[in-house]
Structures are given as C-alpha cells and as structure tokens.
Structure 1
C-alpha cells in the first residue's frame, strides 16, 4: 500500500484514511477537548498526507506512525492559530452574560470536573511530554511507532513518557484538589486511578 499511496492511487489513499482517521480524531479530541476542531485536524492531516505522499517510506508494516507524525504537526499549528484567535476575541467588547442553567446539569458536575482536571493537567505538561503520552497511552502507538511519528529515538520516547506519567499523576491530583478545596470538599480518586492505570498499561 505504501507504493500505491506514493503513486497517488485514490483507492490506496482511501484505505489509508479508513485505517487511520479514527486514530487521528481520538488524538485530536483528547488534545483539544473540542470535537469540531478535531474534525478539522483530521481533514487537514489527510490533506497534508496527500500533499506529502511521496515522502511515505517503506518502513514497517503500517503507515500510521507517518500519519500520526503529520497529525502532531497539524495539531501544533492549529493550536497556535486557535490561541491567536482567542487572543483577538478577548480584545472585543464583552457580551451580555447568558442565564445560568447550572441546575439542569448538576448531575454531570463530577464528570465535568474530572475531565477539566485532566485537561488542566495535560496543559501543564511540557509539549513534548504531552505528545508522547497521548501517542503511546491514549492513541496506542508503540514506542518505535511514536519515535517515527515524532522523529526522535526510542529511548527519548521512553524517557519522555516516564516523566509525563510521573508529572501527570501529580498535576491531575492538584487540579482535582484545587476546586474541591474552594468548596470545602475532598475529591474522589477515580480519575487519578484512570490516569495511573492508563500510564501503567504501557509499562
């Protein structure tokens, strides 16, 4: 399939999309917390893959490390563009506040806090550690595949992932406890357990 993709075979590229699109989307959703933006990342990733198809090398049985390497770069660029947009929007006059519908979503509060804690913790990781964690733990790439995707050595992937696991456990704990202290409550440990078990599954 590698040769067919390089040659611009539409059917081969369709197979490539089918086999990797969900992986790219899951990576982007977890990185951004925005399903709509994740769809954009998928589209841009495969547009870029088509443009760069002649660079696909015959290394390994699967092209997914190559695709995920493109996805990582697309996400970096998309995130920078979104930050610029958010800064521009912040300079606009504030809108009238919307009504508070908190009572309607009170049952979702705990899950929302937990998801927010993960996002906060991931945001506090160094970018390179965050990318390795998301590729290896959340996207299921092996060490060698992640190394190809990021253009680094396998040993570098291992060391970054180890640091990411350690820092993510601590940062998630802190992110969960900060809002809880503000309410005078003690948070549960379910989310921390999820983060730990996810990290340890790659050990």
Structure 2
C-alpha cells in the first residue's frame, strides 16, 4: 500500500519534504510577505518554516488533507517571532547614534519596491487590525484557506475563525472608505489571494 504524503513527511522522507517545498514554498512566502511587507524577512521565514516543519514532523496527523494549512500555521508563528525580535532590535538601534549617510543605490531594488508598493499600502490598513484578526485575514483572504483549514493552521475553533474574519472584513471596509484610495485597496494588495512580490529564489508550485 502506497504511503500518503502525511505518512512520508512524518517518517522524515527527504523526497516528501522536497515535494512539499515545491508545492508550498510560494504560498508560505506570500503569506509571510503579506504579514510583514518585507521580501527579505519573507525569504527567511520560508527557510525557517521548513526547518521547523522538519523538527515537528513527528507531530503530523496521519489523517487529513493537504499540509499547506499546517505549514502556514508554522509560518504565522515564525512571523510572530520576527515581529517580537524586530521590536526589540528597533528599540536597541534607536539608542545608537546614526551612522554617516551613505549614497543611495536604490536603482537595483526599484523593481522589487514597485512590486511591493500596493502590498505596503494594504498592510498599512491591515496592520490597524488586532493581531489575531490580521492573521486570520491573511490566511483566509490572501492565502485562500477556508475556515476549517485556518482553524487547523492556528489551532483554534472554526467559530473563532468566522468571528475574527467577520470583524476583520468589517474594519477593513471602513478603513478602505476612510483611506480615500478604494481602487488600490480593493485591487491585488488586499483581495488577491495569489499575487505577491516574490524573489527568484522561491520556486513556484
């Protein structure tokens, strides 16, 4: 009898993890990017998510569907850790005298910055939500998980997912109206589940 992907991952089959990376790396990257608005952090989150998935492989339930919700749940925790560490780092840096100005060489990054402009605008609105609402919105709207998958990803009841998502949508509708830029806010940055700036190093599924 052929082993399922879940069983192979749980047994630590390297080929199964390679297939899982090919299938889900882009989704993990997009989720992390949409939570942080930073492509470099998102790239690091991908690497750490799969390292953590390897460490936690023994806890994979043999019953169930695709492992994308499990990976996105791990990625969400990685982003939380990044956010906490970033706050501590920013507080420490703020106490250091600023260095001498260095000429800007932004031309090389112009493409990346152009790609992220709308996502950053969306994040400026989404970041006004509570953290638990923001995470649910990112999982359900941007990453396309259904309520059951999002509940699995975060380890919370389905009813909690529904209520948080409803609150998030209501708050965002109000914020979009107040922003004065409904076309941008309702475009790819907030509502599109698939598109996000992605570095060449992350393979598509």
Q: Determine which structure has greater relative contact order: mean sequence separation of CA pairs < 8 Å that are 6+ residues apart, divided by chain length.
A: 2
TM-score by length of 1: 0.80
State whether structure 2 residue 7 is matched by structure 1 residue 7.
no
- Whether contact under 8 Å (1:169, 1:196) holds in the other structure is no
Measured against aligned partners, the alpha-carbon deviations of 1:70-101 in whole angstroms (never above 9, x if no partner) come to 11111111111111111111111123456799
Q: Cα distance 1:60–1:188, how it changes in 2: closer, same or farther (>3 A)?
A: same
**2:67 maps to 1:74:** no
Unaligned runs of 5+ in 2: 193-205
Residue from 174, 184, 188 that aligns with 1:191: 184
Structure having the higher Rg: 1
1:197 Cα shift? 8.1
- Contact 1:120 1:172 (8 Å CA) reproduced: no
In 1, distance between residues paired with 2:82 and 2:181? 34
User: Retained in 1: the 8 A contact 2:133–2:165?
Assistant: yes
Q: When the two structures are aligned, how many residues end up with a matched partner? A: 182
Pick closer, same or farther for the CA change 1:36–1:129 going to 2, 3 Å: same
What's the RMSD between the two structures over aligned residues? Answer: 2.7
In the alignment, which residue of structure 1 is the partner of 2:174? 170
Decide whether aligned partners of structure 1 residues 99 and 51 sit closer, same or farther in structure 2, where only a CA change above 3 A counts.
closer
More helix by share: 1
Residue among 54, 59, 65 paired with 1:55: 59
Aligned counterpart, 2:23: 19
